[in-house]
Structure 1
Amino acid sequence: MLSISQDTHLQYSQDTTQLSITIHNKSTVAIPVKVATATLDFKSVSHAASDSQPELPSAAPLTATDDASLFLSPSSSIVLQPTCQHTEDLKIITSTTQQYNGRIQIQVLPVNYPALDSVSITHSFGIYLIDQMKKSIVHPPQQHQQEEGHEWTYQGQFLREMFDMDPVMALEQGMFVCLESSDGTKVLCRIDGDNGDSVKVCFFGANKDLVRSLVHELDSLDV
């Protein structure tokens, strides 16, 4: 019996949003499969009415490579042996920092087993605001020490994960984390207190809509 799965992983690194796509052939019998077709597409997640729609993201190779790609033009097909996997690392190019939904569709054909039908698999994932922002610890001007903004409380480990920080790094009161979008817009997160596992923070920045959307997004992800 065919058992095919796929998963994705997003991270911000080297000044770009990186998407890793992995397709697994988990078949328990010795049936190689051919990934005949594969598509990767995006759509915007808009929470406000607008007459104009932003340009959708595009994908490009993360590094120069001669390897076959399922998702980039010209696309190729690959054969996966049982228990093997195929991974592609792509960079996601966006013109506007907002939430997007991504969808991967692949068509899999058993090799040398004409009695078995082809399998179509769809995998959906989200590209969040936080995935598209560069994170860094900064030392802003003194006036930001008391600046008002959106106050929230999160688990410390959740913040470290969202900010791509070392899992054991201390979140000290007075620390600032800068979240910077591709167009240079910055949101500052000030650590206002640490009560064991709970950390009180304050988000602020010139783009109030982005700050509000980011806080709403983090609140929905902190489950």
Structure 2
Amino acid sequence: MKANPSPPAPGLQFLKLGGSLITDKAHPHTPRPEVIARLAGEIASARRSVPMMRLVLGHGSGSFGHTPASQYGTRLGVHTPEQWQGFLEVWREAAALNRLVMDALHAAGLPAMAFAPSASVLGHDGRLASWDLGPLESALEAGLVPVVYGDVIFDRVRGGTIFSTEDLFAHLALALHPQRILLAGLEPGVWADYPACQSLIAEITP
């Protein structure tokens, strides 16, 4: 007999702010501070209007992390000294954008707390091997807003790789059962071949 799937967690929403939305992807290391501030204000307003809402935020790396990631091929693996230098550059860029996002969230009055994947997620050949969600779940229980983001992670096979917000949300959804997962961005559609981003999915079915 099959076990019934767990019901959605009351009031739990996942929201990703895409890198295409919060940065100018045509220019390396170029944030859109006015957009980030506006989004932070809108999220804070929505949370005030729905007191029972619990929220996990995520954001992409946009023109920050993607530039060195593409230059060094970080997603494919990290083994040489040069590749580890690239790994660190992606880490620094991802952390820099996260700092801008966190500052805007705090300025808007949101009790947001960042959870860096590079410090907590371990991969195995590009897939998630382990992630202790205890601290993140405790943050939710305390009424805080956990924030995750696209970041480098250590990988048992590849040495290092990149884990996107979508990768993180896929795992979190299985563990936390959100009511909704919302993706906000400036893209022409859903890519079938991410990160190459050359082919769109024509239709998404259940």
| Superposition TM-score, scaled by structure 1 size | 0.26
Q: Greater RCO between the two (CA within 8 Å, min separation 6)?
A: 2
Q: Give the structure with the larger helix fraction.
A: 2
Q: Which has the larger radius of gyration?
A: 1
Normalised to the residue count of structure 2, the TM-score between the two structures is 0.28
